[in-house]
Amino acid sequence: MPSFLKDLRRRSKASFKTDTTFSSSNGSHESSTNGTVPASVSSSTVDSALGPSSPEKPFNNKNRSSSNPSLGTAQGNDPPPPQPRLSIVTSQSSRYSAIGMSPATGTPKPLSTSPLAPRVLSISDNSWVHQKVLLIYGTVGDPAQQPLDGTLTVCHHQDTFPPTSWPVCDSHFKALLHLQPGPNRLRLDFTSPRIPSSHTALSHSSWVSINFLPLISAPPLQLVLLVAKDSPETFDAVPERVQREGNGIDTAIRKYRMAAYLWQAFTGEQMNRNGFGRRCFRYEEEWQPGTLSCRDMEAGQLRNEAKVHVIRLNKTVAEIRDLDIAQQYEPAKRKGELYSIAIGAVRAHFAPRAGQQQYVSAMFLDTHWDKETQTVRGHAALGGGVEGLKLAIFGSHSLQSYPTHIEEVVGAFSDCTRTDTNFVANDCNESGSSWEAANIGIGAHMHEVGHLFGCPHQENGVMLRDYVRLNRTFCCREPYSTRTKMPGQRLCLPGDECNWHRLDTLRFRHHPSFRLPTDPPLSPDDSVQVWSVDNGNVLLTAATGIAFIELFTERDDLCHTWIEYVNSTNVMRQVTLTDADLRARLPEDRRTRKLKLKIFSGGGGDYTVEDFAQLTTKAARTKLPDGRLGFRSSKLGFSNMDGSSPEEVILESAHIQTKLLLKIKIYHGFCLDGLEFFYEDGTSQLFGKRGGKPGGSTFELDTKRAEVVMGFYLRAGVWIDGIQILTNLGRRSEIYGNATGGSGHMLVPPRGYSIAGVYGSCAQWVDGFGLIISR
- Alpha-carbon gap, residue 207 to 42, rounded angstroms: 7
Does residue 522 sit within a domain?
A: no
**pLDDT tens digits for range 153-208:** 999 988 999 999 999 999 999 999 999 999 999 999 999 888 875 555 568 899 99
- Alpha-carbon gap, residue 475 to 402, rounded angstroms: 15
Query: Under 8 Å CB-to-CB from 601, ≥6 apart: which residues?
Result: 510, 526, 527, 528, 542, 543, 544, 545, 546, 547
Does residue 51 sit within a domain?
A: yes
Answer yes or no: do 563 and 647 share one domain: no
If DSSP codes are grouped into helix, strand and coil, which group holds residue 566?
A: coil
CB 209 within 8 A of CB 158: no
- Alpha-carbon gap, residue 262 to 273, rounded angstroms: 17
Answer yes or no: do 227 and 188 share one domain: no
Does residue 460 sit within a domain?
A: yes
What does the H/E/C string look like for 373-425? CCEEECCCCEEEEECCEEEEEEECCCHHHCCCCHHHHHHHCCCCCECCCCCCC
> Domain with 28 in it: what CATH number?
2.60.40.10
Answer yes or no: do 207 and 250 share one domain: no
CA distances from 376 to 104, 236, 311, 418 (A): 55, 11, 21, 18
- Alpha-carbon gap, residue 103 to 110, rounded angstroms: 14
Answer yes or no: do 637 and 732 share one domain: yes
> Containing domain of residue 565, as a range?
532-616
Cα end-to-end span (Å), the chain: 95
Does residue 524 sit within a domain?
A: no
Q: How far, in whole angstroms, is CA 724 from its chain's centroid?
A: 33
How many structural domains does the chain have? 4
Q: List the catalytic residues.
A: 448
Answer yes or no: do 462 and 506 share one domain: yes
- Alpha-carbon gap, residue 515 to 509, rounded angstroms: 8
Q: Where are the alpha helices (DSSP H) in 560-674?
A: 579-584
Answer yes or no: do 278 and 166 share one domain: no
Model pLDDT, residue 104: 35
Model pLDDT, residue 678: 94
Beta carbons within 10 angstroms of residue 124's beta carbon: 22
Low-confidence ranges of the chain (pLDDT < 50): 1-2, 4-112, 325-333
What is the reported pTM?
A: 0.81
Picking from 212, 236, 265, the residue at the C-terminal end of a domain is 212
Answer yes or no: do 575 and 699 share one domain: no
Does residue 525 sit within a domain?
A: no
Answer yes or no: do 355 and 495 share one domain: yes
Name the pairing type of β-strands 133-140 and 645-650: unpaired
Answer yes or no: do 287 and 189 share one domain: no
Answer yes or no: do 736 and 600 share one domain: no
- Alpha-carbon gap, residue 506 to 605, rounded angstroms: 13
Does residue 154 sit within a domain?
A: yes
CB 507 within 8 A of CB 600: yes
Answer yes or no: do 336 and 462 share one domain: yes
Beta carbons within 10 angstroms of residue 221's beta carbon: 24
Model pLDDT, residue 199: 57
Q: Where are the beta strands (DSSP E) in 122-196?
A: 127-129, 133-140, 150-155, 164-169, 172-178, 182-191
Q: Residue 531's closest CA among 366, 752, 248, 321?
A: 752
Does residue 644 sit within a domain?
A: yes
Does residue 519 sit within a domain?
A: no
Picking from 588, 616, 644, the residue at the C-terminal end of a domain is 616
Picking from 212, 244, 269, the residue at the C-terminal end of a domain is 212
Model pLDDT, residue 384: 92
Answer yes or no: do 611 and 559 share one domain: yes
